[in-house]
Amino acid sequence: MKTQQLVWTKERGWNPQRPADERPPTLVLLFGQREVLEAGAALDALAQHFPRQTFFGCSTAGEIENTSVHDGDLIATAVWLERATVHAAARSLADFTDVREFGAALAQALPKDGLRHVLALSDGTRVNGSELVAGITTSLPAGVELSGGLSGDGAAMKTTVVVDRGQVRSGVVVALGFCGALKVGIGSLGGWDAFGPERRVTKASGNVVYELDGESALALYKRYLGPHAAGLPQSALLFPLTVHASEGALPVVRTILGVNEADGSLTFAGDVPQGSRAQLMRANFERIIGGAFDAARATESGNDAELAILVSCVGRKLILKQRTEEEVEAVREVLGPKPALTGFYSYGELAPFTGGAACQLHNQTMTVTTFREV
Protein backbone atom coordinates (compact mmCIF):
# COMPACT_ATOMS: atom_id res chain seq x y z
CA MET A 1 0.00 0.00 0.00
CA LYS A 2 1.18 3.46 -0.84
CA THR A 3 -0.45 6.68 0.31
CA GLN A 4 -0.07 10.39 -0.40
CA GLN A 5 -1.85 13.19 1.44
CA LEU A 6 -2.65 16.52 -0.20
CA VAL A 7 -4.14 19.56 1.51
CA TRP A 8 -6.27 22.19 -0.24
CA THR A 9 -6.59 25.62 1.29
CA LYS A 10 -8.27 28.70 -0.10
CA GLU A 11 -5.01 30.51 0.01
CA ARG A 12 -2.68 27.95 -1.49
CA GLY A 13 -4.83 25.48 -3.42
CA TRP A 14 -3.48 21.90 -3.41
CA ASN A 15 -0.21 21.15 -1.68
CA PRO A 16 1.74 19.25 -2.84
CA GLN A 17 0.64 19.89 -6.33
CA ARG A 18 1.87 16.68 -7.97
CA PRO A 19 1.02 13.04 -7.36
CA ALA A 20 3.68 10.88 -5.71
CA ASP A 21 3.02 8.07 -8.16
CA GLU A 22 2.23 8.20 -11.84
CA ARG A 23 -0.12 5.24 -11.61
CA PRO A 24 -3.78 6.03 -11.01
CA PRO A 25 -4.58 5.47 -7.32
CA THR A 26 -7.07 2.82 -6.21
CA LEU A 27 -8.90 5.34 -4.12
CA VAL A 28 -8.75 9.01 -3.21
CA LEU A 29 -10.41 9.76 0.16
CA LEU A 30 -11.67 13.34 0.41
CA PHE A 31 -12.74 15.04 3.63
CA GLY A 32 -13.51 18.73 3.73
CA GLN A 33 -15.81 21.65 4.23
CA ARG A 34 -19.16 21.30 2.47
CA GLU A 35 -18.91 24.66 0.74
CA VAL A 36 -15.46 23.77 -0.64
CA LEU A 37 -16.71 20.45 -1.97
CA GLU A 38 -19.81 22.03 -3.48
CA ALA A 39 -17.81 24.85 -5.11
CA GLY A 40 -16.12 22.17 -7.24
CA ALA A 41 -12.93 24.05 -8.05
CA ALA A 42 -10.80 22.02 -5.66
CA LEU A 43 -12.11 18.73 -7.05
CA ASP A 44 -11.64 19.93 -10.62
CA ALA A 45 -8.05 20.79 -9.84
CA LEU A 46 -7.47 17.41 -8.20
CA ALA A 47 -9.06 15.63 -11.15
CA GLN A 48 -6.25 16.93 -13.32
CA HIS A 49 -3.90 14.54 -11.53
CA PHE A 50 -6.15 11.69 -10.32
CA PRO A 51 -9.11 9.99 -12.03
CA ARG A 52 -12.31 11.60 -10.73
CA GLN A 53 -14.08 8.22 -10.40
CA THR A 54 -11.64 7.29 -7.60
CA PHE A 55 -12.83 10.22 -5.43
CA PHE A 56 -14.88 9.24 -2.37
CA GLY A 57 -15.50 11.17 0.80
CA CYS A 58 -17.82 13.55 2.59
CA SER A 59 -18.29 16.96 4.15
CA THR A 60 -17.10 17.38 7.74
CA ALA A 61 -17.14 19.35 10.96
CA GLY A 62 -13.34 19.31 10.80
CA GLU A 63 -10.95 17.27 8.67
CA ILE A 64 -7.92 15.29 9.80
CA GLU A 65 -4.58 15.27 8.04
CA ASN A 66 -1.76 13.53 9.84
CA THR A 67 -1.95 15.03 13.36
CA SER A 68 -3.51 18.29 12.19
CA VAL A 69 -7.17 19.13 12.40
CA HIS A 70 -8.31 21.56 9.69
CA ASP A 71 -11.43 23.69 9.39
CA GLY A 72 -12.63 24.91 6.03
CA ASP A 73 -9.99 23.00 4.03
CA LEU A 74 -10.03 19.83 1.96
CA ILE A 75 -7.84 16.81 2.66
CA ALA A 76 -7.19 14.24 -0.05
CA THR A 77 -5.54 10.91 0.73
CA ALA A 78 -4.59 8.95 -2.38
CA VAL A 79 -4.27 5.22 -1.75
CA TRP A 80 -2.49 2.82 -4.08
CA LEU A 81 -3.33 -0.79 -3.14
CA GLU A 82 -1.02 -3.52 -4.43
CA ARG A 83 -3.04 -6.67 -3.73
CA ALA A 84 -6.37 -5.53 -2.36
CA THR A 85 -9.25 -3.93 -4.25
CA VAL A 86 -12.01 -1.46 -3.41
CA HIS A 87 -15.60 -1.65 -4.71
CA ALA A 88 -18.01 1.20 -4.21
CA ALA A 89 -21.79 1.25 -3.95
CA ALA A 90 -23.94 4.31 -3.44
CA ARG A 91 -27.68 4.78 -3.01
CA SER A 92 -29.88 7.84 -2.71
CA LEU A 93 -32.16 8.09 0.35
CA ALA A 94 -34.85 9.56 -1.88
CA ASP A 95 -35.32 6.16 -3.54
CA PHE A 96 -36.29 4.43 -0.30
CA THR A 97 -38.86 4.93 2.45
CA ASP A 98 -37.39 2.40 4.85
CA VAL A 99 -33.84 3.09 6.06
CA ARG A 100 -33.21 -0.56 6.91
CA GLU A 101 -34.16 -1.63 3.40
CA PHE A 102 -31.97 1.17 2.11
CA GLY A 103 -28.98 -0.11 4.12
CA ALA A 104 -29.61 -3.68 3.03
CA ALA A 105 -29.75 -2.66 -0.64
CA LEU A 106 -26.47 -0.82 -0.23
CA ALA A 107 -24.71 -3.82 1.30
CA GLN A 108 -26.16 -6.17 -1.30
CA ALA A 109 -24.62 -4.05 -4.08
CA LEU A 110 -21.13 -4.95 -2.82
CA PRO A 111 -19.35 -8.15 -3.92
CA LYS A 112 -19.42 -10.90 -1.32
CA ASP A 113 -16.33 -12.82 -2.40
CA GLY A 114 -13.20 -11.65 -0.65
CA LEU A 115 -14.99 -8.79 1.09
CA ARG A 116 -13.00 -7.87 4.20
CA HIS A 117 -14.43 -4.60 5.41
CA VAL A 118 -17.01 -1.96 4.61
CA LEU A 119 -16.46 1.76 5.17
CA ALA A 120 -19.73 3.71 5.01
CA LEU A 121 -19.89 7.48 4.54
CA SER A 122 -23.42 8.71 5.05
CA ASP A 123 -25.46 11.85 4.75
CA GLY A 124 -25.32 13.30 8.26
CA THR A 125 -28.65 14.97 8.87
CA ARG A 126 -31.29 13.03 6.96
CA VAL A 127 -30.72 9.47 8.09
CA ASN A 128 -31.42 7.48 11.26
CA GLY A 129 -27.93 6.06 11.77
CA SER A 130 -29.12 3.16 13.96
CA GLU A 131 -31.47 1.94 11.25
CA LEU A 132 -28.82 2.41 8.55
CA VAL A 133 -26.33 0.29 10.51
CA ALA A 134 -28.96 -2.39 11.15
CA GLY A 135 -29.82 -2.51 7.43
CA ILE A 136 -26.23 -2.75 6.22
CA THR A 137 -24.99 -5.25 8.80
CA THR A 138 -27.85 -7.71 8.29
CA SER A 139 -26.84 -8.06 4.64
CA LEU A 140 -23.08 -8.41 5.13
CA PRO A 141 -21.38 -11.82 5.07
CA ALA A 142 -20.35 -13.19 8.48
CA GLY A 143 -17.05 -11.80 9.72
CA VAL A 144 -17.21 -8.63 7.62
CA GLU A 145 -17.33 -5.55 9.83
CA LEU A 146 -18.62 -2.09 9.19
CA SER A 147 -17.17 1.26 10.23
CA GLY A 148 -17.51 4.83 9.05
CA GLY A 149 -19.52 7.86 9.96
CA LEU A 150 -22.20 10.42 9.30
CA SER A 151 -20.87 13.38 7.37
CA GLY A 152 -20.75 16.81 9.00
CA ASP A 153 -21.56 20.41 8.23
CA GLY A 154 -19.29 22.29 10.61
CA ALA A 155 -21.40 23.02 13.67
CA ALA A 156 -24.33 24.17 11.50
CA MET A 157 -26.08 20.78 11.29
CA LYS A 158 -28.02 21.79 8.20
CA THR A 159 -26.86 20.11 5.01
CA THR A 160 -24.19 17.52 4.44
CA VAL A 161 -22.77 16.05 1.23
CA VAL A 162 -21.08 12.84 0.16
CA VAL A 163 -18.54 12.44 -2.63
CA ASP A 164 -19.42 9.48 -4.82
CA ARG A 165 -17.04 8.79 -7.74
CA GLY A 166 -16.13 12.45 -7.84
CA GLN A 167 -19.74 13.67 -7.74
CA VAL A 168 -20.80 15.79 -4.75
CA ARG A 169 -24.26 14.63 -3.72
CA SER A 170 -26.68 15.26 -0.89
CA GLY A 171 -28.97 12.62 0.61
CA VAL A 172 -26.62 9.82 -0.33
CA VAL A 173 -24.75 7.02 1.44
CA VAL A 174 -21.67 5.51 -0.14
CA ALA A 175 -20.25 2.15 0.94
CA LEU A 176 -16.65 1.23 0.11
CA GLY A 177 -16.05 -2.51 0.14
CA PHE A 178 -12.38 -3.41 0.79
CA CYS A 179 -11.57 -6.83 -0.69
CA GLY A 180 -8.58 -9.12 -0.69
CA ALA A 181 -5.42 -9.39 1.35
CA LEU A 182 -6.04 -6.76 4.03
CA LYS A 183 -5.71 -6.66 7.78
CA VAL A 184 -8.30 -4.33 9.25
CA GLY A 185 -8.49 -3.12 12.86
CA ILE A 186 -11.31 -1.16 14.52
CA GLY A 187 -11.44 0.69 17.81
CA SER A 188 -14.08 3.03 19.16
CA LEU A 189 -14.19 4.74 22.56
CA GLY A 190 -15.63 7.84 24.12
CA GLY A 191 -14.27 8.99 27.44
CA TRP A 192 -17.28 10.95 28.67
CA ASP A 193 -18.66 10.67 32.19
CA ALA A 194 -22.31 10.20 33.03
CA PHE A 195 -23.54 12.50 35.79
CA GLY A 196 -26.68 13.41 37.67
CA PRO A 197 -29.73 11.23 38.11
CA GLU A 198 -30.64 8.43 35.79
CA ARG A 199 -33.80 9.27 33.85
CA ARG A 200 -36.44 7.18 32.16
CA VAL A 201 -37.26 7.95 28.52
CA THR A 202 -40.97 8.33 29.06
CA LYS A 203 -41.97 9.46 25.57
CA ALA A 204 -40.01 8.81 22.41
CA SER A 205 -40.44 7.67 18.86
CA GLY A 206 -37.47 6.42 16.85
CA ASN A 207 -34.73 8.99 17.32
CA VAL A 208 -37.06 11.73 18.62
CA VAL A 209 -37.31 12.10 22.39
CA TYR A 210 -40.22 14.11 23.76
CA GLU A 211 -40.02 13.48 27.48
CA LEU A 212 -37.50 12.37 30.09
CA ASP A 213 -39.09 11.43 33.42
CA GLY A 214 -42.28 13.05 32.21
CA GLU A 215 -40.56 16.41 31.61
CA SER A 216 -40.01 18.02 28.21
CA ALA A 217 -36.61 16.86 26.99
CA LEU A 218 -35.87 20.27 25.48
CA ALA A 219 -36.76 22.05 28.74
CA LEU A 220 -34.32 19.82 30.65
CA TYR A 221 -31.50 20.61 28.22
CA LYS A 222 -32.23 24.32 28.32
CA ARG A 223 -32.06 24.27 32.10
CA TYR A 224 -28.66 22.59 32.07
CA LEU A 225 -27.27 24.68 29.22
CA GLY A 226 -28.23 27.97 30.82
CA PRO A 227 -26.84 30.78 28.65
CA HIS A 228 -25.60 28.20 26.13
CA ALA A 229 -29.22 27.31 25.32
CA ALA A 230 -29.13 30.14 22.80
CA GLY A 231 -26.68 28.01 20.81
CA LEU A 232 -29.03 25.04 20.42
CA PRO A 233 -28.92 22.57 18.75
CA GLN A 234 -25.10 22.75 18.49
CA SER A 235 -24.62 23.52 22.19
CA ALA A 236 -26.54 20.36 23.13
CA LEU A 237 -23.40 18.52 22.04
CA LEU A 238 -22.01 19.55 25.43
CA PHE A 239 -24.42 17.12 27.08
CA PRO A 240 -24.69 13.87 25.20
CA LEU A 241 -26.97 11.20 26.54
CA THR A 242 -25.91 7.69 27.52
CA VAL A 243 -28.76 5.30 26.77
CA HIS A 244 -29.39 1.84 28.25
CA ALA A 245 -31.96 0.37 25.90
CA SER A 246 -32.43 -2.74 28.02
CA GLU A 247 -30.97 -4.57 31.02
CA GLY A 248 -27.67 -6.18 30.10
CA ALA A 249 -27.30 -4.26 26.84
CA LEU A 250 -24.22 -2.10 26.40
CA PRO A 251 -25.01 1.58 26.73
CA VAL A 252 -24.76 3.76 23.64
CA VAL A 253 -24.04 7.47 23.55
CA ARG A 254 -26.42 9.72 21.63
CA THR A 255 -26.00 13.36 20.64
CA ILE A 256 -28.59 15.81 19.52
CA LEU A 257 -29.01 16.71 15.86
CA GLY A 258 -32.01 19.00 16.18
CA VAL A 259 -34.56 20.55 18.49
CA ASN A 260 -38.26 21.24 18.06
CA GLU A 261 -39.46 24.24 20.07
CA ALA A 262 -43.09 23.52 19.20
CA ASP A 263 -43.35 20.13 20.88
CA GLY A 264 -40.30 20.39 23.16
CA SER A 265 -38.62 17.39 21.53
CA LEU A 266 -35.02 16.58 20.72
CA THR A 267 -33.90 14.67 17.64
CA PHE A 268 -30.91 12.41 18.24
CA ALA A 269 -28.49 10.88 15.76
CA GLY A 270 -29.79 7.38 16.53
CA ASP A 271 -32.68 5.61 18.19
CA VAL A 272 -33.52 6.31 21.82
CA PRO A 273 -36.17 3.72 22.65
CA GLN A 274 -39.07 4.71 24.87
CA GLY A 275 -38.67 3.05 28.27
CA SER A 276 -34.90 3.01 28.12
CA ARG A 277 -32.79 4.56 30.88
CA ALA A 278 -30.76 7.64 30.06
CA GLN A 279 -28.27 9.86 31.82
CA LEU A 280 -26.63 13.13 30.87
CA MET A 281 -22.91 13.02 30.15
CA ARG A 282 -20.23 15.64 30.52
CA ALA A 283 -16.79 16.07 29.17
CA ASN A 284 -13.63 15.15 30.98
CA PHE A 285 -10.59 16.40 29.01
CA GLU A 286 -8.15 13.79 30.17
CA ARG A 287 -10.59 10.95 29.62
CA ILE A 288 -11.52 12.19 26.14
CA ILE A 289 -7.88 12.20 25.09
CA GLY A 290 -7.46 8.84 26.84
CA GLY A 291 -10.46 7.54 24.89
CA ALA A 292 -8.76 8.31 21.59
CA PHE A 293 -5.58 6.64 22.82
CA ASP A 294 -7.52 3.51 23.87
CA ALA A 295 -9.51 3.44 20.61
CA ALA A 296 -6.24 3.31 18.67
CA ARG A 297 -4.97 0.53 20.92
CA ALA A 298 -8.19 -1.40 20.39
CA THR A 299 -7.38 -1.69 16.67
CA GLU A 300 -4.59 -4.08 17.73
CA SER A 301 -2.60 -3.03 14.70
CA GLY A 302 0.65 -2.35 16.56
CA ASN A 303 2.99 -0.30 14.40
CA ASP A 304 2.08 -2.10 11.17
CA ALA A 305 -0.92 -0.07 9.99
CA GLU A 306 -0.46 1.70 6.64
CA LEU A 307 -3.63 3.77 6.65
CA ALA A 308 -5.82 4.91 9.54
CA ILE A 309 -9.20 6.52 9.01
CA LEU A 310 -10.28 8.51 12.09
CA VAL A 311 -13.93 9.41 12.57
CA SER A 312 -14.37 11.55 15.68
CA CYS A 313 -17.46 13.25 16.97
CA VAL A 314 -18.07 16.96 16.44
CA GLY A 315 -19.04 17.10 20.13
CA ARG A 316 -15.50 16.22 21.14
CA LYS A 317 -14.14 19.00 18.96
CA LEU A 318 -16.58 21.44 20.53
CA ILE A 319 -15.21 20.54 23.94
CA LEU A 320 -11.54 20.17 23.11
CA LYS A 321 -11.39 23.40 21.03
CA GLN A 322 -7.73 24.41 20.80
CA ARG A 323 -6.78 21.03 22.25
CA THR A 324 -8.57 19.01 19.56
CA GLU A 325 -5.35 17.88 17.90
CA GLU A 326 -4.29 16.24 21.16
CA GLU A 327 -6.63 13.34 20.50
CA VAL A 328 -5.23 12.85 16.99
CA GLU A 329 -1.74 12.98 18.46
CA ALA A 330 -2.79 10.32 20.94
CA VAL A 331 -3.79 8.07 18.03
CA ARG A 332 -0.46 8.75 16.32
CA GLU A 333 1.37 7.88 19.53
CA VAL A 334 -0.21 4.44 19.53
CA LEU A 335 -0.04 3.67 15.79
CA GLY A 336 3.48 4.98 15.29
CA PRO A 337 4.81 7.08 12.40
CA LYS A 338 3.96 4.68 9.59
CA PRO A 339 0.25 5.04 8.76
CA ALA A 340 -1.27 7.98 6.95
CA LEU A 341 -3.89 9.48 9.26
CA THR A 342 -6.98 10.94 7.67
CA GLY A 343 -10.62 11.24 8.62
CA PHE A 344 -13.14 13.75 9.83
CA TYR A 345 -15.25 15.16 12.64
CA SER A 346 -18.69 13.67 12.19
CA TYR A 347 -22.31 13.74 13.30
CA GLY A 348 -22.12 10.04 14.25
CA GLU A 349 -19.61 7.19 14.21
CA LEU A 350 -20.27 3.70 12.93
CA ALA A 351 -18.30 0.92 14.60
CA PRO A 352 -18.57 -2.06 16.88
CA PHE A 353 -17.65 -1.21 20.47
CA THR A 354 -15.19 -4.08 20.51
CA GLY A 355 -13.89 -6.45 17.87
CA GLY A 356 -16.48 -9.08 16.98
CA ALA A 357 -19.38 -7.15 18.56
CA ALA A 358 -22.22 -5.84 16.44
CA CYS A 359 -21.66 -2.50 14.73
CA GLN A 360 -23.63 0.37 16.17
CA LEU A 361 -24.10 4.04 15.68
CA HIS A 362 -22.14 5.96 18.29
CA ASN A 363 -21.78 9.55 19.26
CA GLN A 364 -19.02 11.29 21.13
CA THR A 365 -16.46 8.61 20.28
CA MET A 366 -13.17 8.50 18.47
CA THR A 367 -13.43 5.66 15.97
CA VAL A 368 -10.25 4.41 14.36
CA THR A 369 -10.14 1.98 11.42
CA THR A 370 -6.67 0.78 10.39
CA PHE A 371 -5.70 -0.96 7.13
CA ARG A 372 -2.64 -2.94 6.14
CA GLU A 373 -2.09 -5.04 3.06
CA VAL A 374 -0.85 -8.53 3.87
Partner 1 sequence: MHALLKRQLKRYFPDGAPEGGPLQELIAAVDQAYVDADDERALLERSLNLSSDELKARNDQLQADIAQRVRAESERDAFFRMSPDLLCMIQPDMSFRQVNPTWERVLGYAPSELIGRSMIALIHPEDVQRTLQEASKVAANGNTVGFTNRFWSKAGELRLVAWTAVKDAATNSYFAAGRDITEERRKESEAAQSQKLEAVGQLAAGVAHEINTPIQFVGDNVQFVRDSWDDLEPLRTWLTAVLEAKQATGDDVAALEALLAKADWDFLVGELPTSLEEARDGVKRVAELVRALKEFSHPDTPDMVSCDINQALQRTIVLARNEVKYVAAIETELGELPAVPCHAGALNQVFLNLLVNAAHAIEDRNRKKGTPNGRGTIRVATKVDGDFAVVAIGDSGCGIPPEIRERIFEPFFTTKEVGRGTGQGLALARKIVVERHRGALTFETTVDVGTTFFIRLPLRAATLARAA
Question: Among 127, 147, 354, 350, which residue's Cα sits nearest to residue 250?
Answer: 354
- Contact between 257 and partner 1 (CB under 8 A)? no
Least CB distance to partner 1 at residue 247 (A): 15
- Contact between 277 and partner 1 (CB under 8 A)? no
60 to 79, contacts with partner 1 by CB under 8 A? none
- Contact between 325 and partner 1 (CB under 8 A)? no
Q: HEC string of the chain?
A: CEEEEEEEECCCEEECCCCCCCCCCCEEEEEECHHHHHHCHHHHHHHCCCCHHHEEEEECCCEEECCEEECCCEEEEEEECCCCEEEEEEEEHHHCCCHHHHHHHHHHCCCCCCEEEEEEEECCCCCCHHHHHHHHHHCCCCCCEEEEEECCECECCCCCCEEECCEEECCEEEEEEEECCEEEEEEEECCCEECCCCEEEEEEECCEEEEECCEEHHHHHHHHHHHHHHHCCHHHHHCCEEEECCCCCCCEEECEEEEECCCCEEEECCCCCCCCEEEEEECCHHHHHHHHHHHHHHCCCCCCCCEEEEEEEHHHHHHHHHHCHHHHHHHHHHHCCCCEEEEEEECEEEEECCCCCCEEEECCCEEEEEEEEC
Least CB distance to partner 1 at residue 117 (A): 37
Least CB distance to partner 1 at residue 10 (A): 18
Q: Which stretch binds partner 1 (CB under 8 A): 276-284, 286-294, 299-307, 327-335?
A: 276-284
Q: Mask of contacts with partner 1, 340-359, x by CB under 8 A? A: --------------------
Residue nearer to partner 1 on the CB measure, 23 or 321: 321
- Contact between 238 and partner 1 (CB under 8 A)? yes
188 to 217, contacts with partner 1 by CB under 8 A? 195-197
216 to 235, contacts with partner 1 by CB under 8 A? 223-226, 228
Count of residues that interact with partner 1, criterion CB under 8 A = 16
Residue nearer to partner 1 on the CB measure, 309 or 319: 319
Residue nearer to partner 1 on the CB measure, 13 or 72: 72
Least CB distance to partner 1 at residue 224 (A): 6
- Contact between 322 and partner 1 (CB under 8 A)? yes
Residue nearer to partner 1 on the CB measure, 12 or 323: 323
Q: Which stretch binds partner 1 (CB under 8 A): 101-109, 153-161, 319-327, 348-356?
A: 319-327
Position among 113, 261, 321, 337 found at the interface with partner 1 (CB under 8 A): 321
Which stretches of the chain bind partner 1, using CB under 8 A? 195-197, 223-226, 228, 238-239, 280, 282-283, 319, 321-322
